[in-house]
Amino acid sequence: MNILAFDLGASGGKLFLAAVGNGNASIQNIHRFDNVSYQINGSLYWDIINIYKEMNIGIKKAIELTDDHIDSFAIDSFSNDFAFIDEKGALLTPVRCYRDKRTERHAAKIYGRLSKEQLYSLSGNQNALFNTYMQLAAMCEDGHGYILKNAYKLLFIPDLLINFLTGKTISEYTLSSVSQMYDFKKDDWCQEILDSYSIPRSLFGTLTKPGTLLGRTQESYNKYMETKGFPVSVVCEHDTASAYLSSPVTSDCALISCGTWALIGTELDSCVITAEGYRANLANEGGYKGHHRLLRNVMSSWFIQETKRYYKEHGQDYSFEELGRLAEAAKPFGFLFDPDESLFYEPGNMPVKIQQYCMDHYGSRPETTGEIIRCIYESLAMKFRWTIKQLEHISQKPLPIINMMGGGAKASMLCQFTANAAGRKVIAGPDEATAIGNITVQLIATGAAATLNEAKDIMRPSYQTKEYTPQNTEEWNMHYEAFLKLSNDSEPASL
């Protein structure tokens, strides 16, 4: 079998071709491209046309590599962003980026209709400016509510691309579940939240669970791509849900899907919506059946990506490996910062922002590139530890192992620092966790695997892992106490 997976991230897209046979799989990355947001008149947008073009370049390569024999194709991406279409599938709006400032402008008014406490109680989602509900509410506050009333469907990015291929309009479950408009208890959209801004329920496509074989590509697309067509499957389209399914750890553990964001969580049988969860802003997120997620977002590789971009714009194009070597040579624990500070949320000038934060809190600042990168990794490791402690307390289960997946699994310094800070073994890998989770569910959708465990067994030979054990824990514990004071965080009592 030839399985094709498109994984779209905030910084780039990748297409993976998996050859499946004899009970195992081999995977190759056949196409990759950069993905960035663009600012126009103070608003941020994704270039969905370029994303579609690049996706098709990858699909074309797969058609050629397989002699036009693709058994299944599926898409995953970051969540919350969307576009509107009319009944013929024509795009009515561009795709705004979740970092757009419109939600911040209107946050007070939005929370005046439904408080943060009410929203958390109803949806179990974290309160965050990027949530789909916040974006739709901000549209209404900006006077654009007429779009909601007149559009045919709202489609999340993967569902929008699927519509381009198949003509079908769905609302995939894992993406819907993190929109801040979903009721886990009713397994349906939350009418009270929709009513707060008169959001029509009819805007959403057919609610579709991962593991569904949706159908084949439509003839107009086949003609355009010069292909006989291929089946399209529905997977866990929220990239974090896909990434978590790739974990090789079979016992209770903390899972960190580490890309632009670090999604730090654990898997549970069902949602946990409590006052303590609200105070810690832990998100409930839907996954494959039996793999509900309780997690927290922490900005992660975003710091490295933005720092790398800043230096490139100023004439120094560092590789990730060079940045790691510079950080290794820098003095430890020169500076720490809280990754949750709103100062760091928007793109641009990341090293300057970190220096500004340190000047405000220390009266001095990191000067060299290595010092800046090292304080990023040390600060992230501290925040990871704090978040895992929150998860243990609210889930009421110990998480003795950390499985770090995604691009961050390749950052050996971050993996080692996380083990040091948390005092726990870190298993790093797979680094292409999202694509592996995507393909895993396609195996079930196509009938190539009967169960999730069987599908995981097929995928396991396609990746490697590496273990990190804690070092210098006393020193890390000492600086962790300083970090808690710096970030005004407190740690719950141990189990």
Tokens describing residue 320: 């990730």
d(CA 396, CA 283): 16
d(CA 407, CA 431): 5
Catalytic annotation present for 239: yes
Mapped onto helix, strand or coil, the DSSP state of residue 202 is: helix
Phi, psi of 179 (to 5 degrees): -80, -10
CA 142 to chain centre: 27
Structure-derived torsion over alpha carbons of residues 300, 305, 311, 317, reported in degrees to the nearest 10: 130
Phi, psi of 318 (to 5 degrees): -75, 145
For 3, 24, 45, 279, 289, the CA distances from 450, given in Å and listed in that order, are 16, 14, 40, 40, 14
Number of C-beta neighbours around residue 96 at 10 A: 21
Rg (Cα) of the chain, in Å, rounded?
A: 22
Of residues 81, 159, 239, 431, which has the active-site annotation? 239
Nearest to 122 by CA among 211, 185, 28, 36: 185
Which residues sit opposite 216 in a β-bridge? 231
d(CA 336, CA 377): 9
Tokens describing residue 462: 């396609």
d(CA 213, CA 22): 22
Angle between helices 473-487 and 369-395 (to 10 degrees): 80
Q: Which residues are catalytic?
A: 239
